[in-house]
Structure 1
Amino acid sequence: MIKVSNLHKEIEGKNIVGDLNFEINDGEFVILLGPNGAGKTTTIKTIVGISRPTSGTININGYDAQKNEIEYKKQIGYVPDVPFLYDKLTGQEHLQLVASLWNLNREKSSENIDKYLKLFEIYDKKDDYIYTYSFGMKQKIALCAALINEPKFLVLDEPLLNLDPIVAKNIKDFLVDYCRRGNTILLSTHILEVAEKLYTKIIILKNGTLVANLDRNTIETQYSDKYNLEDIFVGNILENGGK
């Protein structure tokens, strides 16, 4: 379980995120929505431990972000909107480096690297330098790196942006299966068509505050008169403050 309590983040004296409270249960596929400047990326960076909260607490599977930082971060796999990759390493070398940072033994490291390279259909490119990869292949390597230590909580910031349809579908299929196996995903996206197909829960931010935290059953019941998630997002939540 992920529990965010009274999360507040200021940057250079400006309030970016204020008093966020929500929980995410095991096996949930949570979509984080909001307009530009809503505080989505700041919230994500704070949750994954890149940025420290000004105040408030975050707890994942019993580990506090501030009190048990190392164990806390072991619970998380993270793919940012612009993944950082070592372009002059091969795909396999990059994953070996990441595995070594997690202190995986050689046998487990090799097993996981081969598993994810094959899963995302880039095993035949493992010895090519990353700078020769297409954008979609780089996204796949970033996802492999996020999964290498088998985290229970996967955090993704616009992972499907600018991907071709085949690559995007393969990744979406994997993510759905990942949640079905009891793992948890928090995914930030502007692509509402993607959100509509994947989510079990929607969290919506506006101006750094939480305006909606609704599961699929609640949305389908409460907004049954609306045609799709876009209508709900724009017409009912953002314009009316979540009411």
Structure 2
Amino acid sequence: MIEVSNLRKKFGSNEVIKGISFSVNDGEIYGLLGPNGSGKSTTMRILAGIIPPTSGRVLVEGIDVSKSPLEVKKIVGFVPETPALYESLTPAEFFSFIGSIRRIPREVLEERVERFVEAFGIREYMNQLIGTLSFGTRQKISLIASLLHDPKVLILDEAMNGLDPKSARIYRELLLEFKREGKSIVFSTHILALAEVICDRIGVIYNGRIVAEGTVDELKTLAKEESLEDVFLKLTQAKDEVIHIVSALKEAL
């Protein structure tokens, strides 16, 4: 379970996160949706223990991320928006490195690596330098690395960026299986159709604040819209702007 209470984050004088609160239950996929610059990635990095909050409280499985970030990292699988990998290593070397710092028994690591490598179709790249691989392949490596220690909590920031349709479907089904196992999952994406299908609840973040929260149906009722896309645009004050821009483009043609 994840509990976020009055979370704030400043970078110098710029307050990026402005007192947000939400919770994610065991066995729940919580979607954090918002436009670029809204504070999603900063929130994700705080939840994963990567950066400290300025104030407020975040508990991950009862552990305070401000007091015990290393303990949080032990139980969290984190996928950043841009893969953070050692490009001078091969995937085989990188997974071995992850196994060593996670203290995963060798036989367990080998079995898990084999299973994920086969599932995501990257066997042919296992002995190539990560820096030479495509973005999509590097994203698959990042996803696999986040799962090797069988985390209790998953923090996924645009985790499906660059995935081919088959891999995206496999990963989606994995997330649903992890949900059935009782894991807590926070998931951000710009693919609203995916969020509508996979998320149990959604928090819409805009300008550092949660402006709406609920199931997809509850958000549609709140915004008086029939699609999640229109809900999102309305709650982030972008719908009228989109209409204006499209009208201007039509006039220019």
Verify same fold: TM over 0.5: yes
**C-alpha displacement of 1:105:** 2.4
Distance in 2 between residues matched to 1:231 and 1:44, nearest whole Å? 24
Match of 1:117 in 2: 117
Kept in 2: contact 1:27–1:184 (CA 8 A): yes
Alignment of 1:140-151 (within 5 A): 140-151=140-151
Q: Kindly tell me: are residues 68 and 90 of structure 1, through their superposed partners in 2, closer, same or farther at Cα, counting changes over 3 Å?
A: same
Distance in 2 between residues matched to 1:119 and 1:183, nearest whole Å? 21
Distance in 1 between residues matched to 2:203 and 2:96, nearest whole Å? 35
Aligned-residue identity in percent = 38
Kept in 2: contact 1:96–1:113 (CA 8 A): no
Match of 1:193 in 2: 193
Distance in 2 between residues matched to 1:203 and 1:136, nearest whole Å? 27
User: May I ask how many residue pairs the two structures share in their alignment?
Assistant: 238
Kept in 1: contact 2:87–2:129 (CA 8 A): yes
Q: Kindly tell me: are residues 223 and 136 of structure 1, through their superposed partners in 2, closer, same or farther at Cα, counting changes over 3 Å?
A: same
DSSP 3-state at the match of 1:15: strand
Match of 2:107 in 1: 107
DSSP 3-state at the match of 2:67: coil
**C-alpha displacement of 1:217:** 5.4
Kept in 1: contact 2:223–2:231 (CA 8 A): no
Give, as a single letter, the amino acid of the residue that structure 2 aligns with 1:60.
V
Alignment of 1:200-239 (within 5 A): 200-216=200-216, 218-219=218-219, 222=221, 226-235=225-234, 237-239=235-237
Match of 2:129 in 1: 129
1:14-66, Cα deviation, whole Å (9 max, x unpaired): 11101111110011111111122211111111111111111111111111112
Match of 2:18 in 1: 18
1:83-108, Cα deviation, whole Å (9 max, x unpaired): 11222322111011011111222222
Task: Please tell me the root mean square deviation across aligned C-alpha atoms, in Å.
Answer: 2.0
Kept in 1: contact 2:47–2:60 (CA 8 A): no
**C-alpha displacement of 1:215:** 2.5
226-235 vs 148-157, greater mean Cα deviation: 226-235
Distance in 1 between residues matched to 2:3 and 2:224, nearest whole Å? 32
Kept in 1: contact 2:49–2:70 (CA 8 A): no
Distance in 2 between residues matched to 1:77 and 1:102, nearest whole Å? 11
Distance in 1 between residues matched to 2:178 and 2:121, nearest whole Å? 17
TM-score by length of 1: 0.90
Distance in 2 between residues matched to 1:141 and 1:83, nearest whole Å? 8
**C-alpha displacement of 1:209:** 0.8
Match of 1:89 in 2: 89
Kept in 1: contact 2:18–2:209 (CA 8 A): yes
Distance in 2 between residues matched to 1:192 and 1:116, nearest whole Å? 26
Structure 1: gaps of 5 or more residues: none
DSSP 3-state at the match of 1:23: strand
Give, as a single letter, the amino acid of the residue that structure 1 aligns with 2:225.
K
DSSP 3-state at the match of 1:52: coil
DSSP 3-state at the match of 2:144: helix
**C-alpha displacement of 1:170:** 2.3
Give, as a single letter, the amino acid of the residue that structure 2 aligns with 1:21.
S
Distance in 1 between residues matched to 2:216 and 2:233, nearest whole Å? 17
Give, as a single letter, the amino acid of the residue that structure 2 aligns with 1:228.
S
Distance in 2 between residues matched to 1:38 and 1:70, nearest whole Å? 27
Match of 1:8 in 2: 8
DSSP 3-state at the match of 2:121: coil
**C-alpha displacement of 1:216:** 4.0
